[in-house]
Amino acid sequence: MVMLTKAIRNVFWHPLSRFPGPRLYAGSRLPYVFFALTGRLAVQHHKLHKKYSPIVRTAPNELSFIEASAWKTIHAQHAGRHTAFRKNYDSFNETRNQIGHSVFIADDDNHRRMRKVLDHAFSPQALREQEPLIQRHVQELINGLEDERLSTDGIVNLMEWYTWATFDIVADAAFGEPFKCLLEPTYRHWPILLSKTWKVIVYSSGVKNTMPSSLRWMFPAWVLQTEVNKLELVLNRVKKRLARKPNRGDLLSSIIAHNDRKGTVTETEIISNASLFVFAGTETVATLLCAVTYLLTQNPQAMARITNEIRIRFPDEAIITIQELNEMEYLNACLNEALRIFPPLAEGLPRIAPPEGATISGEWIPGDTSVQISHFAANMSTSNFEDPESFVPERWLGINPRYANDRLEASQPFSAGLRSCIGRNLAMAEVRLILARLLWRYDLRCTLQSKWTDQVAYMLWEKGPLPIELTRVR
């Protein structure tokens, strides 16, 4: 009776009652949790926005937005207008692990303090110094693909190979020691296991938000703790690297050097952030590689154009460099379009409106309301993009009048504002180089019978196999 009364009050007399959305969602958080636990929350938010409006009430005290202007309001720095929107997730803090000391979880003050030191490790200069390392691992990837292609019928699972490559690259770049997934099978299962941790975190959050405390024994804390403990493999490597101290040209060397001058980041925070770079960088970069590869194989005209441009611009594979690839407009357009259609972070990162409230997308939002911009819903909305489900790299080049009114700024795969992704430049450099080297050497054909992008997501997409037939052309 108490729950029913509360649900009725939520539907009709809650401060958010004026916003559109299903009454069932307004009355209880159960529908939200159900779709989160089944991995369909991002897709469901898209359906709700398509049916109702650019602002949808997705839970009793939560609103979802898809308009481009919402990015600036929710995620940008606010000078004098109102206080910042606070973060609204703390699942990692329920476990005894050092990821909780990273920029991912930190409040705004601690985030700024850490970024002053960490940003140097991801500067253009630092990226140039990392290129030989990235090139070496990409060559290991190409060698591994060629060996498997020759030993099979020419079909390889690129999802696995992309994951192993990004795990090796990010680990080596972060703390100077790869896991050698591309060379030997010892640690090949680890990046796959780490990707499953997100699913358990979503389950834990769902239990916390819906179950009475008397029933939480059904999902005991040790279950989540067991999953997060998988991060110890990475944490231990970081601790080992810190104990050696010498300058190896990796990200940790840069962080240590700048921290020695400023002394603002603790050793625990350095360990936490270096581990986070590997954990998050592996999964998101592999997802983008899979998405752009699949989408190109499904769009022959785009595949022909990008392949020809790469092979004509680079007569020799040895001269393919990160700097040269940065300047290839169509390559970057393909990546932007893949990020729009299949953003690695499918759902939004929720924030809490400041106590005094704020205006978002022209609507006054009461204080302490949970708000988010759903990446997938915003990118798939016809109010933001013409033909949103079609892979059209040309929309990013401004050459086709059909897409002149697209709101390109609505797609923010790396988030926006001061808390945007710190590893963006490194991630894009990896993707450009891997994709260019692959297309320079091989013709690609996807042998999957189903639609690869039809995946479930637990914050990040749960990637399935991506069988690709490689035909050597050079």
Position 241 scores a pLDDT of 72
DSSP state of 345: B
DSSP state of 14: S
Position 257 scores a pLDDT of 78
CB 169 within 8 A of CB 276: no
Provide the CA 69 distance to its chain's centre, in angstroms: 21
CB 202 within 8 A of CB 460: no
Taking the C-alpha atoms of residue 72 and residue 351, their distance in angstroms, rounded to an integer, is 13
Average pLDDT over residues 139-147: 97
Sort 283 into a burial class: Cβ within 10 Å, 0-12 / 13-18 / 19+: buried
Confidence of residue 93 (pLDDT cuts 50, 70, 90): very low
- When comparing pLDDT for 10 and 91, which is higher? 10
Backbone angles phi, psi at 385, to 5 degrees: -140, 135
| Residue carrying structure tokens 């303090």 | 113
The pLDDT of residue 235 is above 80: no
pLDDT digits (tens, 9 = 90+) for 294-344: 999 999 999 999 999 999 999 999 999 999 999 999 999 999 999 999 999
Position 246 scores a pLDDT of 59
Taking the C-alpha atoms of residue 88 and residue 90, their distance in angstroms, rounded to an integer, is 7
How long a stretch of residues is the chain?
Answer: 474
Position 190 scores a pLDDT of 77
Average pLDDT over residues 204-224: 60
Position 189 scores a pLDDT of 80
What's 2-472's CATH class? mainly alpha
Domain boundaries, the chain: 2-472
Position 450 scores a pLDDT of 94
Position 19 scores a pLDDT of 97
| Residue carrying structure tokens 């004509």 | 312
Taking the C-alpha atoms of residue 332 and residue 432, their distance in angstroms, rounded to an integer, is 8
Confidence of residue 273 (pLDDT cuts 50, 70, 90): confident
C-alpha distance from residue 89 to each of 107, 201, 350, 370, 464 (Å): 11, 11, 7, 10, 27
Q: Binding site membership for heme: which residues?
A: 421
Token reading at 38: 């089944």
Confidence of residue 69 (pLDDT cuts 50, 70, 90): very high
pLDDT digits (tens, 9 = 90+) for 333-358: 999 999 999 999 998 888 999 999 99
C-alpha distance from residue 309 to each of 179, 304, 313, 328, 441 (Å): 34, 9, 6, 9, 13
Position 120 scores a pLDDT of 80
User: Could you tell me which residues come within 8 angstroms of residue 213 by beta carbon, excluding any fewer than 6 positions away?
Assistant: none
Confidence of residue 367 (pLDDT cuts 50, 70, 90): very high
CB 108 within 8 A of CB 84: yes
Q: Binding site membership: which residues?
A: 421
The pLDDT of residue 80 is above 80: no
Taking the C-alpha atoms of residue 267 and residue 256, their distance in angstroms, rounded to an integer, is 9
Sort 280 into a burial class: Cβ within 10 Å, 0-12 / 13-18 / 19+: buried
The least confident of 76-80, 107-111, 203-207 is 76-80
pTM (predicted TM-score) = 0.92
Position 39 scores a pLDDT of 93
Q: How many angstroms separate the first and last alpha carbons of the chain?
A: 71
Position 266 scores a pLDDT of 81
Confidence of residue 272 (pLDDT cuts 50, 70, 90): confident
Taking the C-alpha atoms of residue 137 and residue 295, their distance in angstroms, rounded to an integer, is 24
Sort 264 into a burial class: Cβ within 10 Å, 0-12 / 13-18 / 19+: middle
Position 92 scores a pLDDT of 43
User: Could you tell me which residues come within 8 angstroms of residue 400 by beta carbon, excluding any fewer than 6 positions away?
Assistant: 392, 394
Name the amino acid, one letter, at 234: V
Strand partners, 360: 363
Position 237 scores a pLDDT of 72
Confidence of residue 218 (pLDDT cuts 50, 70, 90): low
Name the amino acid, one letter, at 183: L
Taking the C-alpha atoms of residue 31 and residue 22, their distance in angstroms, rounded to an integer, is 10
Q: Is 370 left (phi over 0), alpha (psi -120 to 50) or beta?
A: beta
Taking the C-alpha atoms of residue 312 and residue 318, their distance in angstroms, rounded to an integer, is 14
The pLDDT of residue 91 is above 50: no
Average pLDDT over residues 11-23: 93
Position 248 scores a pLDDT of 63
Taking the C-alpha atoms of residue 466 and residue 183, their distance in angstroms, rounded to an integer, is 20
User: What value does the mean pLDDT of the chain take?
Assistant: 86
pLDDT digits (tens, 9 = 90+) for 445-468: 999 999 999 999 988 999 999 999
Confidence of residue 84 (pLDDT cuts 50, 70, 90): confident
Average pLDDT over residues 20-36: 93
Q: Is 161 left (phi over 0), alpha (psi -120 to 50) or beta?
A: alpha
Position 231 scores a pLDDT of 62
Percent of the chain topping pLDDT 90: 57
- When comparing pLDDT for 81 and 451, which is higher? 451
Q: Which among 169, 130, 424 is positioned nearest to 249, based on CA atoms?
A: 130
Taking the C-alpha atoms of residue 98 and residue 81, their distance in angstroms, rounded to an integer, is 35
Backbone angles phi, psi at 88, to 5 degrees: -135, 40
- Reported as type and span, the H/E element at residue 429 is helix 424-441
Backbone angles phi, psi at 457, to 5 degrees: -135, 130
Backbone angles phi, psi at 379, to 5 degrees: -75, -25
